[in-house]
Amino acid sequence: MHALKKVSFNIEPGSICGLIGPNGAGKTTLIKLILGLLKPTEGKIKVFGKNKVDKNSKQQIGFLPEESYLYDFLSIRETVEFAAKLYTNKNHGLSRVEDLLKMVGLEGRDDRKISQCSKGMARRTALAQALVHDPKFIILDEPTSGFDPMGVSDMKSIMLSLKEEGKTILLCSHQLADIEAVCDNIVVFYEGNLVVNGSVQDLLKESKNNMYQIASEKRDLFESLLKNERIDYEFVRSNKGLENFFISSIKKWIANS
């Protein structure tokens, strides 16, 4: 049994790539392969142009896992400083702590113990921890988990700011509105297979070419006409662009496989 099957795609430097798919699609396996925590049984994975995820490559990767595993007895500042000291260039990391605390919205609250933090504050701390060594490639797994709407907005702004700095980001999320808002490209997985890979803008534009907008009060009339003509159809909400595309892509792949 293979967790991933003949998957092949590139992430362009300086871009934000969205990784989406239902539970069990193979997203976590892919992340572990990139991080060097798993080795592929077939094929190869290149990080920074290298076939092997070595120590030097890992020094340039930042990872925010879905769950924030932090030490309760440390303060926010101590947590970020502790992470900085784990890397080869620890002095550079320590010099970034102040700016990072400000970036993630924890300036002035950094003396609070992790045990006293809300989930949102813990996520902000974990993000600062993931960025402390100034990585070139950043993997974010459900980064808006635990955030209120204001926190979600802050996180999206941070991702776009990192992109402006030239960072490359792989964003794994079930929040498709967030993916649509910040990503340049998306990769859709289903049961270990790559279903769709391409530009968000182009894919949504192509999807809309096969859609027609009708007034809600006319739905019954159109439904009756389509049934009489035996035409396959589906009603979707017009304000759910990427969500509609994702669901229809998965259904189409299942039907053709």
- Taking the C-alpha atoms of residue 63 and residue 56, their distance in angstroms, rounded to an integer, is 15
pLDDT tens readout for residues 74-116: 999 999 999 999 988 889 989 999 999 999 999 999 999 999 9
- Taking the C-alpha atoms of residue 118 and residue 76, their distance in angstroms, rounded to an integer, is 12
* 119-131 vs 149-164: helix crossing angle, rounded to 10: 10
Residue 169: pLDDT above 70?
Answer: yes
DSSP state of 49: T
pTM, entire model: 0.82
Structure tokens at 215: 């007034």
- Cβ atoms of 200 and 12 within 8 Å: the answer is no
Give, in degrees to the nearest 5, the angle at Cα 96 between 91 and 97.
Answer: 100
- Taking the C-alpha atoms of residue 165 and residue 162, their distance in angstroms, rounded to an integer, is 5
Q: Which of 164, 120, 161, 163 is nearest to 142 (CA)?
A: 120
In three-state secondary structure terms, 24 is: coil
Beta strands in 119-239 (DSSP E): 137-141, 168-172, 185-190, 193-199
In the prediction, which pLDDT does 234 show?
54
Q: Kindly give, in sequence order, each residue whose CB lies less than 8 Å from that of residue 149, ignoring residues fewer than 6 positions away.
A: none
In the prediction, which pLDDT does 239 show?
46
Beta strands in the chain (DSSP E): 16-20, 61-64, 137-141, 168-172, 185-190, 193-199
In the prediction, which pLDDT does 64 show?
95
Report the pLDDT averaged over residues 214-228: 58
Which residues on adjacent β-strands are paired with residue 170?
17, 139
